[in-house]
């Protein structure tokens, strides 16, 4: 008998963006708590790296570009019924407001907002989400609680997530499906190694955190696990901020 309310034994969890960063960490930490994982991303080498770090047996990996409808449909048809999904796939994209184009709006909103909606919708349509399953969105403090120069579009895509998650939580409650959001501050992942944000800017940023450091992906994963597990069985439509105290100031 397992008395740990955070246990994920007998749960199958789909994690998008699990070839890297927060998604990879979520998948690995979920496997340590007994979950069977379905990991997905576009980069096969990186997905293989995550797969090798998963604990336990019976995990599945699926290559999919979630901006492509046919890949979403193939992913949904290939997988068994699941107990939870974590929408972690996303892109950063800093751009001054005056340089925003229709193309840039489409690019950022496609993967950060539209794809996870369509994936969730298809999972529901083909009855792949079990009763009592849990949907977790990785949003951000950007757009919801703070902003910075160049992040208006990214922030808008993240505040859109918080909006749709509330509506989903209400509409899916009748199916006993819960929907919650995790909003991290800056987490040390590839999203920040891409050169989009300079080392100088990052050094100026880190001192603004009351806990005086950026977060680690595992520290987001532990919040996600709360929402995936039975520990949060009466929690839906809520948002957990994980930001080292940044938004206190
Ligand atoms: N890092 C932070 O400070 C931070 C803070 C707040 C929120 N977030 C959010 O956390 C989430 C994960 O970010 P991260 O830092 O872990 O970034 P990351 O390391 O760059 O990982 C991004 C993931 O998204 C996947 N992805 C991107 N476009 C895709 C597409 N078209 N189809 C399928 N997968 C796609 C990537 O897969 P491939 O590489 O295989 O294509 C990768 O696995 C994002 O939604 C981000 O906005 C991050």
Q: What distance in Å separates the CA atoms of residue 208 and residue 205, rounded to the nearest whole number?
A: 6
Does residue 198 or residue 183 have the better pLDDT? 183
Distance between Cα 21 and ligand 1 center (Å): 7
- pLDDT(193) > 90: no
Range of the domain at 105: 12-241
% of the chain exceeding 90 in pLDDT: 93
Give the start-end residues of each E strand in 111-151. 129-138
Catalytic residue among 154, 209, 226, 246, which?
Answer: 154
- pLDDT(166) > 70: yes
Q: What distance in Å separates the CA atoms of residue 76 and residue 127, rounded to the nearest whole number?
A: 10
Confidence of residue 25 (pLDDT cuts 50, 70, 90): very high
**Domain CATH number, residue 56:** 3.40.50.720
Residue 188: per-residue pLDDT: 93
> Does residue 91 lie within any of the structural domains?
yes
Q: What distance in Å separates the CA atoms of residue 136 and residue 183, rounded to the nearest whole number?
A: 11
Cα–Cα distances (Å) from 166 to 169, 187, 231, 238, in that order, read 5, 24, 20, 8
What average pLDDT does range 65-81 have in this prediction?
A: 98
Which range is least confidently modeled, 26-30, 72-76, 139-143, 201-205?
201-205
Q: What distance in Å separates the CA atoms of residue 118 and residue 73, rounded to the nearest whole number?
A: 9
> Does residue 5 lie within any of the structural domains?
no
Q: Hey, what long-range contacts does 67-70 have (CB within 8 A, 24 or more apart)?
A: 67/110, 67/111, 67/115, 69/118
> Does residue 249 lie within any of the structural domains?
no
Confidence of residue 1 (pLDDT cuts 50, 70, 90): low
What six digits make up the tokens of 214? 């950026």
What average pLDDT does range 22-36 have in this prediction?
A: 98
* Residue 83 contacts residue 11 (beta carbons within 8 Å): yes
> Does residue 3 lie within any of the structural domains?
no
Residue nearest to atom 45 of ligand 1 (CA): 90
DSSP track, 24-65: HHHHHHHHHTT-EEEEEES-HHHHHHHHHH--SS--EEEE--
- Residue-wise burial string across 180-200, b where 16 or more C-beta atoms lie within 10 A, e elsewhere: bbbbbbbbebebbeeeebeee
Q: Walk across the sheet containing 239-242 and list its strands.
A: 60-63, 36-41, 12-16, 82-87, 129-138, 178-184, 239-242
Residue 237: per-residue pLDDT: 98
> Does residue 35 lie within any of the structural domains?
yes
> Does residue 121 lie within any of the structural domains?
yes
Pocket test for ligand 1, best of 14, 17, 194, 239 (most atoms within 8 A of CB): 17
Q: In degrees to the nearest 10, what's the CA dihedral of 221, 226, 228, 233?
A: -170
> Does residue 152 lie within any of the structural domains?
yes
The answer to whether residue 209 is catalytic is no
Task: Answer positive or negative: Cα dihedral of 123, 47, 108, 140.
Answer: positive
Residue 191: per-residue pLDDT: 65
Q: Could you read off the pLDDT of 82-133 as tens digits, one per residue?
A: 999 999 999 998 999 999 999 999 999 999 999 999 999 999 999 999 999 9
Give the total number of structural domains in the chain: 1
Which residues approach ligand 1 with their CB closer than 6 A? 17, 19-23, 41-43, 46, 65-67, 88-91, 111, 138, 140, 184, 186-187, 189-191
What six digits make up the tokens of 240? 């957990």
> Does residue 248 lie within any of the structural domains?
no
């Amino acid at each position: 008998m397992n008395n740990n309310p955070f246990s994920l034994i007998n749960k199958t969890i789909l994690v998008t963006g699990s070839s890297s960063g927060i998604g990879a960490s979520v998948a690995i930490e979920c496997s340590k708590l007994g979950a069977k994982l379905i990991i997905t991303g576009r980069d096969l080498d990186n997905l293989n790296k995550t797969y090798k770090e998963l604990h336990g047996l019976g995990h599945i990996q699926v290559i999919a570009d979630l901006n492509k409808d046919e890949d979403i449909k193939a992913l949904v048809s290939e997988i068994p019924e699941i107990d939870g999904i974590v929408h972690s796939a996303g892109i950063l994209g800093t751009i001054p407001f005056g340089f925003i184009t229709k193309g840039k709006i489409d690019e950022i909103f496609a993967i950060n907002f539209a794809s996870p909606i369509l994936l969730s919708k298809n999972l529901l349509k083909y009855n792949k989400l079990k009763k009592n399953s849990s949907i977790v969105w990785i949003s951000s403090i950007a757009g919801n609680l703070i902003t910075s120069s160049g992040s208006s579009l990214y922030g808008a895509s993240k505040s859109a997530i918080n909006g749709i998650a509330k509506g989903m939580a209400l509409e899916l409650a009748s199916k006993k499906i819960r929907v919650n959001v995790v909003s991290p501050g800056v987490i040390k992942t590839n999203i920040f190694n891409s050169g989009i944000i300079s080392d100088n800017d990052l050094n100026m940023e880190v001192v603004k955190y009351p806990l005086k450091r950026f977060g680690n992906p595992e520290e987001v994963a532990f919040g996600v696990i709360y929402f995936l597990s039975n520990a949060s069985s009466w929690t839906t439509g809520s948002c957990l901020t994980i930001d080292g105290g940044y938004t206190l100031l």
